[in-house]
């Protein structure tokens, strides 16, 4: 019988902070795991934003398969903006109630493609007990009723499912105060749930998600957030204590530690909308024959060309030439993809498992840039033009807010895209976040669902 698996996702943790902390002893629990496991830097999805990346982790597939395109996107069928919480202001701008429903219920329940099978669904189907705490992409086979009085809408999640006190499949006594977020209260809740599960050995697969690190890194910048990793490490240490100590923990569990995306410092914020100011922009308040819907937040943007627009997709992309905030604009053309930077272009298409290139390859000189851009462009919910921000820049969200002076992520750049990947007790070190679920399924001897790519051996 394969060992049970704990998958620990520390949101926004960069490889360099992880490596330094493990090296100098600032994160003793992670150091212990690193001593007993194998480590490599791995790659995130594009856009390197949590809803996209969490979906890549949960489904073992890229955005072209799981269909979650960004933190904010335009739903062409419903003709409306979907906002998963770029900021509180952005949620208000998109309609608070709607944004909350989109984030809590619709991401997993409606927007996530039913063609993509989640790790929870695949393992549930194999008769294994799945568990998750606070993870946004949670679709499973068990129907859960909210614990909050007045909320009646149910959702499908893992067998043991804990989501910010809104869904709790078991009474654990774990406290949660979202108002003390900056003090780390969300991760304290996650750790309390984790200890409860481990004390009971109550799962075969447990996705333990820590979100406070990303929050701190946005505020203070990726390098100033290193101290926050000590909190995440303590939370992991408390799980080990619940198992009877570090050695007992590894005796019982195989472990994967990774993050969903990186972060880089941001100094300037710009409104991506400014490039389209002379066009009619989609606004939530009215349907006034808009030309485009511009969706941007953090370090990635999307431009949706709407039916009445007289400009072509290419012309919409060309408008971004010469703007310092733009690293590269991407769009599909004639069955291939185009990456454009200040008038320089790279055309690329998949041919026989490889790539056919035309133009200046340096335009898309990012880690696994071709494949990640291709998957993003072939997501049916993505915009017609995808935008990756230049270093140091961030796009203001729907409410004009940004993290200038702090940290952000979302682009194709290495800093936003590289994640730490530590594995103890699995056969392979996943090369990307979408390779984690295939590695976990292989560990349990569960066949890959048809939607998932084959497991990647690194």
Q: Which residue shows structure tokens 């090369």?
A: 431
Q: Tell me the residue number closest to Zn ion, measured at CB.
A: 214
Please, which residue, 62 or 214, has the CB nearer to Zn ion? 214
CB 402 within 8 A of CB 449: no
CB 90 within 8 A of CB 396: no
Please, which residue, 214 or 269, has the CB nearer to Zn ion? 214
Question: Which one of the spans 105-113, 186-194, 206-214, 420-428 is the region binding Zn ion (CB under 5 A)?
Answer: 206-214
Please, which residue, 141 or 268, has the CB nearer to Zn ion? 268
CB 363 within 8 A of CB 346: yes
Q: HSE-up of 139 (CA within 13 Å, CB side)? A: 23
Does 231 help bind Zn ion (rule: CB under 5 A)? no
Q: Name which of 380, 446, 372 is nearest 416 in CA terms.
A: 372
CB of 214 to Zn ion, least distance (A): 4
CB of 17 to Zn ion, least distance (A): 14
Question: Which one of the spans 55-63, 173-181, 213-221, 304-312 is the region binding Zn ion (CB under 5 A)?
Answer: 213-221
Residue 97 CA to residue 241 CA, distance in Å, equals 40
Angstrom distances, CA of residue 226 to CA of 31, 46, 96, 396: 15, 24, 32, 25
Does 345 help bind Zn ion (rule: CB under 5 A)? no
Size of interface with Zn ion, in residues (CB under 5 A) = 1
CB of 189 to Zn ion, least distance (A): 19
CB of 260 to Zn ion, least distance (A): 8
Does 212 help bind Zn ion (rule: CB under 5 A)? no
Cis peptide before 282 (omega within 30 of 0): no
CB of 409 to Zn ion, least distance (A): 6
Does 214 help bind Zn ion (rule: CB under 5 A)? yes
Please, which residue, 219 or 428, has the CB nearer to Zn ion? 219
Residue 230 CA to residue 68 CA, distance in Å, equals 31
Question: Which one of the spans 163-171, 214-222, 338-346, 396-404 is the region binding Zn ion (CB under 5 A)?
Answer: 214-222
CB 258 within 8 A of CB 41: no
Compute the radius of gyration of the chain from its Cα atoms: 21
Does 62 help bind Zn ion (rule: CB under 5 A)? no
Does 435 help bind Zn ion (rule: CB under 5 A)? no
Residues 99-113 as b/e (b if ≥16 CB within 10 A, e otherwise) read bbebbbbbbbbebbb
CB of 323 to Zn ion, least distance (A): 23
Does 260 help bind Zn ion (rule: CB under 5 A)? no
By CB under 5 A, name the binding residues for Zn ion: 214
């Amino acid at each position: 019988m394969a060992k049970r698996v704990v998958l620990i996702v520390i949101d926004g943790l960069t490889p360099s902070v992880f490596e330094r902390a493990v090296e100098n002893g600032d994160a003793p629990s992670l150091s212990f795991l690193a001593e007993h496991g194998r480590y490599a830097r791995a790659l995130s999805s594009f856009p390197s934003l949590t809803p996209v990346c969490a979906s890549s982790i949960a489904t073992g597939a890229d955005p072209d398969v799981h269909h979650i395109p960004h933190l904010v996107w335009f739903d062409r069928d419903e003709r409306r903006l979907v906002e998963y919480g770029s900021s509180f202001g952005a949620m208000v701008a998109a309609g608070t109630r709607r944004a909350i429903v989109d984030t809590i219920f619709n991401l997993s329940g409606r927007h996530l493609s039913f063609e993509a099978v989640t790790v929870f669904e695949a393992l549930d189907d194999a008769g294994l007990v799945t568990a998750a705490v606070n993870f946004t992409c949670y679709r499973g086979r068990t129907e859960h009723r909210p614990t909050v009085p007045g909320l009646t809408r149910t959702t499908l999640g893992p067998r043991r499912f804990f989501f910010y006190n809104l869904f709790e499949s078991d009474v654990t006594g774990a406290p949660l105060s979202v108002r003390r977020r900056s003090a780390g209260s969300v991760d304290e809740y996650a750790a309390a749930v984790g200890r409860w599960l481990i004390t009971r050995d109550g799962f075969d697969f447990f996705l333990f998600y820590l979100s406070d690190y990303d929050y701190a890194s946005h505020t203070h910048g990726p390098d100033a957030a290193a101290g926050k990793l000590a909190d995440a490490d303590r939370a992991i240490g408390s799980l080990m204590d619940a198992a009877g100590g570090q050695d007992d923990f590894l005796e019982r569990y195989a472990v994967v530690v990774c993050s969903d995306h990186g972060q880089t410092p941001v100094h300037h914020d710009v409104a991506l909308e400014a490039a389209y100011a002379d066009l009619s922009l989609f606004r939530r308040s009215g349907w006034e024959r808009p030309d485009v819907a511009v969706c941007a937040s953090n370090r990635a943007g999307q431009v949706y060309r709407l039916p009445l627009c007289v400009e072509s997709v290419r012309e919409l992309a060309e408008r971004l030439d010469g703007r310092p905030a733009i690293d590269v604009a991407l769009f599909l053309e004639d069955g291939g993809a185009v990456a454009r930077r200040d008038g320089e272009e790279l055309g690329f298409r998949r041919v026989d498992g490889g790539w056919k290139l035309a133009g200046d390859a340096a335009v898309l000189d990012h880690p696994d840039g071709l494949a990640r851009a291709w998957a993003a462009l072939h997501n049916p919910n993505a915009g017609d033009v995808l935008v990756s921000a230049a270093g140091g820049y961030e796009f203001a969200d729907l409410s004009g807010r940004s993290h200038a002076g702090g940290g952000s992520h979302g682009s194709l750049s290495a800093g936003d895209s590289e994640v730490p990947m530590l594995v103890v007790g699995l056969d392979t070190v996943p090369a990307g976040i979408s390779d984690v679920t295939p590695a976990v399924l292989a560990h349990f001897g569960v066949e890959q669902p048809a939607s998932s790519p084959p497991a990647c051996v690194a």
